[in-house]
Amino acid sequence: MENILKNKIVEKKAKIGIIGLGYVGLPLGVEFAKKGFEVCGIDIDERRVNLLNKKRSYILDVTSEDVKATTDAGLFSATTSYRIISKLDIIIICVPTPLRKTREPDISYIVNSTEKIAKYKRKGQLIILESTTYPGTTDEVALPILTRNGWKLDKDFFLVFSPERVDPANIKYKTKDIPKIVGGVTKDSAELGRLLYSHIISNVTTVSSSKAAEMVKLLENTFRSVNIGLVNEIALMCDKLGVDVWEIIDAAKTKPFGFMPFYPGPGLGGHCIPIDPLYLSWKARIHGFEARFIELADMVNSAMPGHVTRRISEILNRYKKSLSGSSILLVGVAYKRDVHDMRESPALEIIRLLRKAGAQISYFDPYVPEITVDGSKLKSLKWGPGIFKGKDCVAVITDHSSIDYDELLRNSKVIFDARNVYKNTKAKNVVRL
């Protein structure tokens, strides 16, 4: 079985299925198709599947031209049916792993996908999990499902964990440019995973186990979460001390060793950094270990929307206004620059807090035409001189590169800048985080 699959991978005759066609799955599938593999994407979202079969992309990191080219070549297709699994050689799971309201891991998407694979699987397949999850998921959750009918690992199928490392809207580092980590449940599985990914990624590193690979991903995002939490706390401290945190960071980063700059902001967003460390913290608690750095960083980062709200209130007080009844325009609501992803965006909590205080909220975001906050919908205003009329304060929450910040400065009474876009201005109507 192993040699047959290995030959198929080497000769690019292995048929690949990608379960989950979001920010991770679609770029991965298109990349394999561009290298000559036949790829079928599987997603329960009919809208996504219909768009792809019309040769249109809905992901910023994947062009419609690439979807069209690979589709026309007969190398890429999409479906909502899991029955295709029986015809595949390799299945890669790229589904979401959110948190429950109890702040515990929700791996239901992984379980459901693995159950579908177990239902339609055939012998000789390589199954890869890319969804970020706690250490032990591949061994403790996926493997038992796949071996329920007596099938043996490395005899009837192969199982690997290879963490996704996608950074949406990153121009420099696309899927093919980011080194890949591969951890197999066994060495034979790991070697097949390494062989597969080496077709699209030049730098593939194999670690000793699937659990090690799962831990690698969580270390990466915990590192970022903790350091962002540190610099956010420094920003709060600098505010009390009356010094400019942005100046302090710029000066500190002149040191050529021993320092890596991180920057404060209105809060953490996206599917990874606010969530992944809590997967690790949860797993640690099960083993009687308290992840204090993770919990503290989460507490600091989660408090930043509240800090933004207080700063806006203080700014309005200078103009003898209160939050209640004031008209506030938020510029940028996506979780990061130049994406339309709203997952865990701090803008949502900022809007809730401002509304709770009685403020009238509107927003502009070129990537997000509409949002829903606590059941009520808001639509993005159209950019133009009239957008600033009657606004008591403008808050820059997400620093999209396409926004005309000079025009924003000329037409605004006062600006709260949470992203340091006005670092080179001395305008009196700008207050930075």
Return the CATH number of the domain spanning residue range 245-432.
Answer: 3.40.50.720
Domain locations along the chain: 2-208, 245-432
Closest residue by Cα to residue 330 from 396, 385, 232, 387: 396
Check residue 51 and give its pLDDT.
97
Check residue 60 and give its pLDDT.
87
Q: Please name the residues in contact with 69: beta carbons below 8 A apart, sequence gap of 6 or more.
A: 34
Task: Give mean pLDDT in consecutive 10-residue pieces for the chain, a chain of 433 residues.
Answer: 95 98 96 98 97 95 96 97 97 95 92 98 97 96 96 97 91 92 97 98 97 97 96 97 96 96 95 92 94 95 97 95 96 95 95 97 97 95 91 97 95 96 92 94
Q: Which of 40, 238, 272, 393 is catalytic?
A: 272
Residue 136 has a CB neighbour count (10 Å cut-off) of 16
| pTM of the entire predicted model | 0.93
- E strands, 228-336, in order: 327-331
In the residue annotation, 272 being an active-site residue is answered as: yes
Check residue 168 and give its pLDDT.
84
| Alpha carbon distance 229, 236 (integer Å) | 11
Check residue 265 and give its pLDDT.
97
CATH fit for domain 2-208, picks 3.40.50.720, 3.90.1170.40, 3.30.470.20, 3.40.50.300: 3.40.50.720
- 2-208 and 245-432 in the same fold: yes
